[in-house]
Structure 1
Amino acid sequence: MAIPQHTIDQILDRTDIVELIGQRVKLKKTGRTYSGCCPFHQEKSPSFHVYRDKQYYHCFGCQANGNAIRFLMDIDNRNFIDVMKELSSHTGVELPKDNHDNKKLSYKREAVKPQPKTELKTADSQAAQIPHEPASSIDIDPFEAFQNYSDFDNFDPAQFGDEGFHQAPIDGNLYDLLENIAQFYERQLPNSKTAQQYFRHRGLSTETIQYWRLGYAPEDWQHLEKAFPQDVEGLKLLGLIRTSDSGRDFDLLRDRVIFPIRDSKGRVVGFGGRALNDEIKPKYINSPDSEVFHKNQLLYGLYEGRKDRAQNWLMVEGYMDVIALQQNGISGAVATLGTASNADHLNILFKQNSQITIAFDGDAAGQKAARRTLEIALPLLNDGRELKFFVLPKEHDPDSLIRKEGLETFNRLWQQSPLLSDFVFALLSQNYEIATPEGKSQVMAELNQLTELLPKQGSYRYLLRQFFKEKLGFNKKWQPQISLDATLSFKQNMGNEEFAIAILMQHPFLYIHFEVLRAFIDPNELLAQILAVFDRIFDELPDDQELATYYILGACSAYHLELSDIMQRTNIQAFTEAPEMADKLASDYSLALQEKYLKQKLKSPISLSESRNLRKQLNELTRQISLKLVHN
């Protein structure tokens, strides 16, 4: 079975390589990459790196590298077709059933029939056109006679030879046709003062118009057929030519400014058209779905943002918002193609960065859209992913906000956008009187429904519920004001390992911070044995935090004497009652222990190569610790 390149590209675009490799290799986020011990050779220090933005892996030890397809082929010793079938099933991208499906991108081009030559009025000119016949023997225009032929539509030039006819190539390619159409629309823009005025009114520079390849579709109802007479079949496959009920063909986009839409590879796959007359409805029209255009899986501006190496990603509503932001130096803005955002759209953005922002209008419709997006996003929020909600001031979209309030104001409001936890609390609490027990109960009931949508694995479910309880004043009691000095004095009386164990027993979901220690710690230590228990049963932990604590204590019953002593001496509950504090301390102690174990391993490395890798890891870890101290 031959698989076309565009299908391979689509499958790779929809495959999260970090998630795929993470099922086989324990990965830890290190800067913009994920690292772990290479599965292709024996090593104790991680030199295997996965790059989510590039969808690529590389081992600096054995030089193994490639994409998701190569990883599965090498790790399981499988052939290409088997791997593609698995990824096809996982991503929902259908593979061709046979070689005939490879022709879906092709269409039959038509032969161009010569047009009447109105200049052939004299015998001299006729003789010049047909040199084999004496001029005196021709009394009529041969082209006119040909057009009046009764069976003209069924005429086969092969019956008469191909003199005077240009035979087009048998097959055309949809991608090539789309590129030619984009160039055609670009060339039409200088011919329309109205279209040029529209872009000037929106504040777009000549450079921006050229960068986004903006164009104009003429008013003529058949302008594409006239421009591409050989490619009518392809134009119909793309949905750019429609057929009326009366059987007449007409162009979909007419008298509209044109926004070419590119896929992640930079290929033109469709067009958006905006009416120049606001009374025409709909205002925006997009190309219909086709073999190359699937609007539910595309984001306008994604290719351009990736080309500009955008770091921060913002989902906005329309094409002009994306373009205006890019013109003002903000790369990474994207928009859906006339559809509501869906899980595919969000996953595409999370592949670019684990932290993304979605902009919404400040009106009731915007709030409704935000709630819908929230419910779509929650199942995707694995640990490490962060979603912010940018609620725009009323009467503004990003384009108008920048033009009227300035770029500085826009950036400030973006930076102040609430995290999902704060946004959800504001969204739910505004409908109830949260000063009353009844109101608090209603908020928690709605929250429980939402958190059921979150992934069962990871700590976010637990932390979000604890956050709401804190905000609503549940279990209010005196809590010690924990300062850095207090934490440091506490550490003098307790070993880091014992404190880590105490945190794990009280807050089992925070195992995610300590899991990385299993790669460094001596397996005979108590903490290593506790982490081994967590590794076996973590996916089975109950969602409720209190039940999870009982569950893990039961699972660790073989160590109950040591655990009982540690819990009594630490008084851990007083220090970690606030979930934010528990999470912060878990992160801090994990980093401290990683530093300790790395320094221990550096004293007796197995090889010079391992020594270099350990030193590199220690330097990166030291940088992370320094950054945390600065932020604290």
Structure 2
Amino acid sequence: MAIPQHTIDQILDRTDIVDLIGQRVKLKKTGRTYSGCCPFHQEKSPSFHVYRDKQYYHCFGCQANGNAIRFLMDIDNRNFVDVMKDLSSQTGIELPKDNQDSKRLSYKREAKTVAEPSKTAPVTPVQSPPTTELQIDHDPFEEFRNVDDPFAQFEPFQTFNEAPAQEGNLYDLLENVAQFYERQLPQSQSAQQYFRHRGLGVETIQFWRLGYAPEDWQHLEKAFPQDVQGLKLLGLIRTSDKGRDFDLLRDRVIFPIRDAKGRVVGFGGRALNDEIKPKYINSPDSEVFHKNQLLYGLYEGRKQKAQDWLMVEGYMDVIALQQNGIYGAVATLGTASNTEHLNILFKQNNRITIAFDGDAAGQKAARRTLEIALPLLNDGRELKFFVLPNDHDPDSLIRREGLENFQRLLQQAPLLSDFVFAHLTQNQDISSPEGKSLVMAELRQLTELLPKTGSFRYLLNQSFKEKLGFGKRWTPQLSNDASLSFNIRTKDEDFAIAILMHHPFLYIHFETLRAFVPSHELLSHILNILNRIFDNLPDDQELATYYVLGACSTFSLEIADIMRRTNIEVLTHAPEMADKLATEYALGLQEKYLRQKLKDPNSLLESRNLRQQLNELTKKIGLRLLS
């Protein structure tokens, strides 16, 4: 059984790992985690920790770790599908049926008519050879004189008007229609002229499989007489109020729409005359086509191994950018961007950019997208806003600015934190207390939309306070003698400590490091202190820093020296930079200590678990490097 990743994610989201493991292991809350004796190896003192926020468990002893699915597979020695069936019934999320897809994708093809001779048509006699003469020396009727049915002794003679009906597949039908539209393009001078006017070359037209739908109101029915039922299921043939069938797309250039697997699932049609409304028509939703779950250009961008992803407005923007060597542009299919669209892009890369027009409508769309995106901004995700000049789309902007300047403008697109600040302050006097207060009040409304378990809401609040001139950040007071230590090497552990002091809420990135850092290291002491006090941290970023410094006062001299050497305040000036840096140091240190532990494991079980973790971590680091 193939279980889609989004179904697995839904099941994990609805499963409380603390409750699930608590049924098998006696757990006790200790700081940020729940701990108990590990069920996978014998031990007397608890080293098994469960993290509710991360839906993750980890044993400090044997290094067993994973999510709820892995726990049930290992504890009961069961396979993946069996565990998923149990969790499915517990969470109420249905798993896909094995034969469901094939049934809903089929339709009945109409029977193919076979030509039959007319009953009134003259029959041409068979000419006998001229030298042979038929001789009959008995009464032919004698053979059947006493028979009721003279034909009973013979096999009945069957005539067929139709070949038996067959099952059709919607994906196959869509592919055939796409090829049909492609073949029509060379027959239309106006369609070819439209693409030439938009600057598209032959290779681009072929790559995107662009085509043309003829003017004829029944051209699809004529081209696919056996597949009318399938075409109606796809919405490509409609029925008028008077009961007459007609084609949805007529006299339009055609943009085939492909899903993530490259299958044609629908079409977009653009009118050749701008006076015709609507200018664009898309296939309606069907069994294979769901506009809210698809992005035009996603398949093509992945095929060209795009790394950076940019959401633009329309088909032609995507195509023009690809022709200019900017891969990874996508567009929604005539709908506003939604949660599903953004999640699709975040699965390609944790950093995405959205383009908007600079006019009032573009600003309104940007605000709407912002409110949709904020709940999705888990730690490590980064969103940028590319505001286009008025009356320009990406294609026209490239032609005006040139490709190099366009790429520079794209790279300079503001981060979400900068965009939000500009957006909220554009109509406020931030030199006055009242203006600052109004900005912070509106910011609080937006940050409430951010995930509660992440650190970004705290980072964003602190960033606004700094820009508006609230308060003064903590800086270590050092003697001149201490600042002369130029030759001291700054380790990755020191940068991690500096980040934790400056941004205590980023501890959530580092907490799993407690399983690896040797207990004598300063970082280990800091992490253990943060684990105990994290739930009591003040919401205010600056107060949280003071709170942590007070809790770590035993190590104040070492911390002050680290803060001076790392200059972390400059490195984490933007919330996104702080979050990114924390993630990179957390992953790098985890890899370092995993490799150290693998050199001298305590048991074969620990060695196996460590190697499994290292493999997963290496993949994660590799994906971040690619992005």
TM-score, length-scaled by structure 1: 0.71
1:88-237 matches, cutoff 5 A: 95-96=96-97, 102-114=102-114, 127=124, 161-169=158-166, 171-237=167-233
Aligned residue for 2:433?
Answer: 437
Cα 1:199–1:93 shift into 2, 3 Å: farther
Hey, what's the Cα distance between the residues in 1 that align with 2:585 and 2:103?
58
Offset, 1:350: 0.7
Structure 2 residue matching 1:390: 3-state secondary structure: strand
For 1:233, the aligned partner's letter is Q
Hey, what's the Cα distance between the residues in 2 that align with 1:334 and 1:87?
34
Contact 1:494–1:570 (8 Å) recurs in 2: no
CA deviation profile, 1:547-601 (whole Å, cap 9, x unmatched)? 6568868xxxxxx8x8323237745889767792694997898699779857965
For 2:113, the aligned partner's letter is K
1:456-535 matches, cutoff 5 A: 456-476=452-472, 489=485, 504=500, 507-515=503-511, 517-523=513-519, 527-528=523-524, 530-532=526-528, 534-535=530-531
For 1:459, the aligned partner's letter is S
For 1:188, the aligned partner's letter is Q
Which sits farther off after the overlay, 578-587 or 297-306? 578-587
Structure 2 residue matching 1:441: 3-state secondary structure: helix
CA deviation profile, 1:134-175 (whole Å, cap 9, x unmatched)? xxxxxxxxxxxxxxxxxxxxxxxxx99453533341x11111
Offset, 1:317: 0.6
CA RMSD of aligned residues (A): 5.0
Contact 2:69–2:83 (8 Å) recurs in 1: no
Q: Does 1:381 align with 2:370?
A: no
Contact 1:433–1:439 (8 Å) recurs in 2: yes
CA deviation profile, 1:230-267 (whole Å, cap 9, x unmatched)? 11111111111111111111111111111111110111
Offset, 1:545: 3.0
Contact 1:222–1:251 (8 Å) recurs in 2: yes
Of the three residues 412, 415, 438, the one matched with 2:411 is 415
CA deviation profile, 1:391-445 (whole Å, cap 9, x unmatched)? 1111110112223332112111101111111111111111101111111111111
User: Highest Rg: 1 or 2?
Assistant: 2
Contact 2:495–2:568 (8 Å) recurs in 1: no
Aligned residue for 1:58?
Answer: none
Q: Does 1:12 align with 2:30?
A: no
Of the three residues 286, 290, 293, the one matched with 1:297 is 293
Hey, what's the Cα distance between the residues in 1 that align with 2:316 and 2:90?
36
Aligned residue for 1:319?
Answer: 315
Hey, what's the Cα distance between the residues in 2 that align with 1:571 and 1:338?
55
Structure 2 residue matching 1:282: 3-state secondary structure: coil
Q: Does 1:274 align with 2:270?
A: yes
Contact 2:306–2:327 (8 Å) recurs in 1: yes
Alignment gaps of 5+ in structure 1 = 25-38, 43-67, 132-158, 554-559, 628-632
Contact 1:14–1:91 (8 Å) recurs in 2: no
Aligned residue for 1:261?
Answer: 257
Hey, what's the Cα distance between the residues in 2 that align with 1:337 and 1:540?
46
Aligned residue for 2:552?
Answer: 563
Aligned residue for 2:45?
Answer: none
Offset, 1:518: 2.3
For 1:110, the aligned partner's letter is E
Q: Does 1:332 align with 2:328?
A: yes
Q: Does 1:365 align with 2:326?
A: no
Aligned residue for 1:353?
Answer: 349
Identical columns (%): 69
For 2:468, the aligned partner's letter is L
CA deviation profile, 1:498-555 (whole Å, cap 9, x unmatched)? 89667646642121453353243124656435524645775775643356568868xx
For 1:276, the aligned partner's letter is L
Cα 1:507–1:90 shift into 2, 3 Å: same
Contact 2:383–2:416 (8 Å) recurs in 1: yes
Hey, what's the Cα distance between the residues in 1 that align with 2:456 and 2:298?
28
Aligned residue for 2:48?
Answer: none
CA deviation profile, 1:4-33 (whole Å, cap 9, x unmatched)? x7xx5xx3367669x98x999xxxxxxxxx
Hey, what's the Cα distance between the residues in 2 that align with 1:166 and 1:518?
72
For 1:80, the aligned partner's letter is V
Which sits farther off after the overlay, 315-324 or 100-109? 100-109
Contact 1:15–1:91 (8 Å) recurs in 2: no
Contact 1:318–1:335 (8 Å) recurs in 2: yes
Alignment gaps of 5+ in structure 2 = 18-37, 42-67, 128-155
Hey, what's the Cα distance between the residues in 2 that align with 1:480 and 1:546?
14
Contact 2:301–2:327 (8 Å) recurs in 1: yes
Which sits farther off after the overlay, 440-449 or 74-83? 74-83
CA deviation profile, 1:443-498 (whole Å, cap 9, x unmatched)? 1111111111111122211111111111111125896899xx99883895999878
Cα 1:84–1:402 shift into 2, 3 Å: farther
Which sits farther off after the overlay, 102-111 or 274-283? 102-111
Hey, what's the Cα distance between the residues in 1 that align with 2:592 and 2:96?
50
For 2:84, the aligned partner's letter is V
Contact 2:7–2:95 (8 Å) recurs in 1: no
TM-score, length-scaled by structure 2: 0.71
For 1:105, the aligned partner's letter is L
For 2:572, the aligned partner's letter is E
Structure 2 residue matching 1:183: 3-state secondary structure: helix
Contact 2:450–2:457 (8 Å) recurs in 1: yes
Which sits farther off after the overlay, 517-526 or 284-293? 517-526
Cα 1:219–1:121 shift into 2, 3 Å: farther
Aligned residue for 1:580?
Answer: 572
Contact 2:424–2:442 (8 Å) recurs in 1: yes
Cα 1:613–1:316 shift into 2, 3 Å: same
For 2:81, the aligned partner's letter is F
Hey, what's the Cα distance between the residues in 1 that align with 2:295 and 2:6?
12
For 1:184, the aligned partner's letter is F
For 1:417, the aligned partner's letter is A
For 2:239, the aligned partner's letter is T
Hey, what's the Cα distance between the residues in 2 that align with 1:104 and 1:588?
45
